[in-house]
Amino acid sequence: AQKVTQTQTSISVMEKTTVTMDCVYETQDSSYFLFWYKQTASGEIVFLIRQDSYKKENATVGHYSLNFQKPKSSIGLIITATQIEDSAVYFCAMRAMPNYNVLYFGSGTKLTVEP
């Protein structure tokens, strides 16, 4: 069965620094899809960035990037030049066989960006 694990419960960083949030996953499938979502203080859940397992290049969107280490089953989220408004809970998620149509989530990492 698929499993997504985020071991960092919370992280605190200073504004304008770089932070990395960890995520490891388990799947028997050779082809899968990895996602990061952000849950804001209002509770809204927003899609940030994705990595398809067959792509070797790490995905980048704005000041979000991924560190995809396939041999380690790891997909880290890197936020550069953090801003106060990056404070949120970040979820890692995966789609894999036997059911690509379901998204499985990790338990989340709470990020606090201090001024």
Partner 1 sequence: EAAVTQSPRNKVTVTGGNVTLSCRQTNSHNYMYWYRQDTGHGLRLIHYSYGAGNLQIGDVPDGYKATRTTQEDFFLLLELASPSQTSLYFCASSPGGGAEVFFGKGTRLTVV
- The binding site for partner 1 (CB under 8 A) comprises 33, 35, 37, 42-47, 50, 52, 91, 93, 95, 100-108
Tell the smallest beta-carbon distance from residue 48 to partner 1 (Å).
10
Q: What angle (nearest 5°) sits at the alpha carbon of residue 30, between those of residues 28 and 32?
A: 95
Tell the smallest beta-carbon distance from residue 15 to partner 1 (Å).
27
Tell the smallest beta-carbon distance from residue 101 to partner 1 (Å).
5
Element (H, E) at 38: strand 32-39
Asked if 26 and 49 count as a contact pair (C-beta separation under 8 A), the reply is no
Residue 101, helix vs strand vs coil: strand
Which is nearest to 92 in space by CA: 47, 61, 29?
A: 47
DSSP state, residue 58: P
Asked if 110 and 21 count as a contact pair (C-beta separation under 8 A), the reply is no
